[in-house]
Amino acid sequence: MTMDKRNPAATGANAHAEAPAALARRVAPQAGGVPRWIRRNALQIGITCVLLLLWGLFLVRAPATFFSKNIYAALMSTVPFFAIMALPLTMVVIAGEMDLSFPSIMGFGMVVFVHVLEATKSPGLAFLTCLLSGFLAGLLNGTIVVRLGLPSLVATIGTQFFWRGVVDVITQGQPASLVSVKPTLLQRLLVGRVGGYVPAQVLWMIFVAVVVWVFLNRHRFGAHVYLIGDNRESARLMGVNVDRVRMLVFAVVGLAAAFAGVLASLEVSYFWVTLGEGYLMRTLASVFLGGTSVFGGQGTIYGTFIGCFIIAIIEPGLVAMGLTGFWTKLIYGFIITASVAMHAVLSRRLAR
Amino acid sequence: MEYLLEMRNISKRFGEVQALRNVNFCVRYNEVVGLLGDNGAGKSTLIKIVTGYHQPDSGEIYFNGRKIERLSVSEARRLGIETVYQERALANLQSLWRNIFMGRELTTMLGFLDVAKMRRETEKLMVGSMGFTSAAVVPDSVVGTFSGGEKQGVAIVRALYFEAELIILDEPTMGLSLSETRKLLDFVRGIKEAGKSCIFIDHNVFHVYSVADRVVVLDRGAVAGEFLTKDITLEQLMDMMYRVAQTGRLSENNTECLPAAPIGTETP
């Protein structure tokens, strides 16, 4: 694949001689004024501004809360529970798919965790089997979508109910205590407090963000995720293994959901059978707030990362400002709709 | 070895439809083969088998004299078969460099992208082969903003970059202006001058006649006939195409065609 051996360069040149002049005419007017870097990252800059504006508002209107470090400790301990799912979910959406089943997979993974823990008394083994079952549950989603050709939205509505049902049947609605895990290394590694203050889960969240970013932006796998979401047929024509990549993105979300389930349960040393309920909309909203296109082919990990914090900061912020919890959903709705509208306008005006 | 590509007795069925029936097809070294035929004649199916997109139900494929079992798209590209699908195989939301290297990204052993190198190579191709010199187009430019002719330039350069031995052009003149078409035909002649082979598929008899060394006519899933363009005038070719459309045959005495049959020694 070296350039030197590539000889027909000259033949391509005359195939396309008129390009420069026409191109200059066409691109010049829109290039004026706005630097390329800003145009290309308009969505990320926009969403960062939304977070900073909200944060500034809360700092001004609720200084007692937002100048104390307790609020940040609370955010760092709870945001990772859904952010760890939102980050890989971004890949699913970029690939042009959708997954609604991850909240149930959180619960299912923990059922496996509890049972393996009970049988083996080994938290490490329980953790690994839990991750594996999450991965397999995700892979099942991928298999149904790819091999049977079901739309992923529909398929994962089905598996969402299915895994929730599995949890209900196996547990018979009985929660389980995880106090026995509390003194173990696993507990400290996953949800301990680093330096007595920083929750370990937020470090895991950053780790997941970095890993997903690297794979999405600097690995063949991620390149194929974008290509498939952009134009599945062209990816296939150019030799991309479309089916395998589509199956894998679902499997990774399943794995992440099982991991998030463990973190959320160990944090409270208790497994509630309803684990995962309430995470669906928050997680999806984070992805779309971050500027990921529902049509596929576009989206960033940075955007999702910021989106998660926007979602998480709104509720405590409003309450600290003196509004009742009844206002939360209304403001959520407003901010999410406005941000997504902003993305649509920005990508039409600038990104092109 | 006489043939770059040789396909023997290829058959392919899609459900009720017999798309190809015992087709023999070959491409010699440094030869431009025009593939003609009506809609539904099987041109696309045959090409998609060559590119590894479809697997034939039966038949054998040889490339460079070596028998190829289970050809996949990535295997075909590895062998040096590149296809220009025009705009159909571009990802419009992605950057130029991601499109150039689509499906064949330059990576390290572990699959991590060598982004810097891909950008650099794209830059070179832009100046050297695509004729993009405007400062407004960079390797990171999104392909969706390009014009039709520019997109085709991208598709062609992509095929060239990987040192293809066999370049397939699938209806490349569709939707092109007169001057763009002329450039494209020049490009096909360029492939020949560079010593490569080409399969050129088109509806337009004029375009095919003007660049092909040999023309193969498909009809209803079978080869209706083949001949060298230097042995035949454009008028004769047109007459034959009408006859094929009506009877499915090129002429009364030329009903069956084997790869080597009508042409033996006079390849250029």
Q: What CATH number does residue B154 fall under?
A: 3.40.50.300
Count CA within 13 A, CB hemisphere, residue B162. 25
Query: What ipTM does this complex have?
Result: 0.82
**Would you say residue B260 lies in a domain?**
no
Residue B254 is predicted with a pLDDT of: 46
Question: Is residue A184 predicted with pLDDT exceeding 50?
Answer: yes
**Would you say residue B265 lies in a domain?**
no
Sign of torsion, CA A194 A196 A198 A201?
positive
Residue contact A9–B136, C-beta within 8 A? no
Residue B237 is predicted with a pLDDT of: 84
- Per residue in A297-329, pLDDT (tens digit) is 999 999 999 999 999 999 899 889 888 878 888
Indicate the pTM of the whole model. Answer: 0.86
The answer to whether B102 contacts chain A (CB < 8 Å) is: yes
Which among B72, B144, B194 is the nearest to A11, CB-wise? B194
**Would you say residue B261 lies in a domain?**
no
Residue B259 is predicted with a pLDDT of: 42
Question: Is residue A203 predicted with pLDDT exceeding 90?
Answer: yes
pLDDT band at B50 (very low <50, low <70, confident <90, very high): very high
**Would you say residue A20 lies in a domain?**
no
In the numeric block, the tokens 């794979």 are attached to: A215
Mean pLDDT of A175-195: 94
**Would you say residue B92 lies in a domain?**
yes
Q: What is the CATH number of the domain that holds A141?
A: 1.10.3470
Amino acid at B156: I
Residue contact A18–B76, C-beta within 8 A? no
Yes or no: say if B9 and B24 are a contact pair by the CB < 8 Å rule: yes
- Closest-CA distance, B253 to chain A, in angstroms, reads 39
Residue-range definition of the domain harbouring residue B26: 3-247
**Would you say residue A190 lies in a domain?**
yes
DSSP at B95: B
pLDDT band at A114 (very low <50, low <70, confident <90, very high): very high
Number of domains into which chain B is organized: 1
**Would you say residue B256 lies in a domain?**
no
Question: Is residue B31 predicted with pLDDT exceeding 50?
Answer: yes
- Per residue in A268-284, pLDDT (tens digit) is 999 999 999 999 999 99
Which range, A2-11, A300-309, B43-52, B166-175, has the best average confidence (pLDDT)? A300-309
Residue B20 is predicted with a pLDDT of: 93
Q: How far apart are CA B173 and CA B201, in angstroms?
A: 9
**Would you say residue B125 lies in a domain?**
yes
**Would you say residue B55 lies in a domain?**
yes
Residue contact B102–A234, C-beta within 8 A? yes
**Would you say residue B96 lies in a domain?**
yes
Number of domains into which chain A is organized: 1
Residue-range definition of the domain harbouring residue A255: 45-351
Q: In b/e form, how buried is each residue of A288-327, taking b as 16+ CB within 10 angstroms? A: bbbbbbeebbbbbbbbbbbbbbbbbbbbbbbebeeeeeee
Return contacts of B203-208, CB within 8 angstroms, 24+ apart: B203/B36, B203/B171, B204/B173, B205/B36, B205/B234, B205/B237, B205/B238, B205/B241, B206/B234, B207/B173, B207/B181, B208/B34, B208/B35, B208/B36
B133 chain-A contacts, CB cut-off 8 A: 20
**Strand A176-177 versus strand B58-63 pairing type:** unpaired
Residue A42 is predicted with a pLDDT of: 83
Q: Which stretches of chain A are DSSP H helices?
A: 9-15, 19-31, 36-40, 42-61, 63-66, 69-94, 102-120, 123-147, 152-171, 185-191, 200-218, 220-230, 232-237, 242-268, 280-289, 301-320, 328-346
Q: How far apart are CA A6 and CA A127, in angstroms?
A: 52
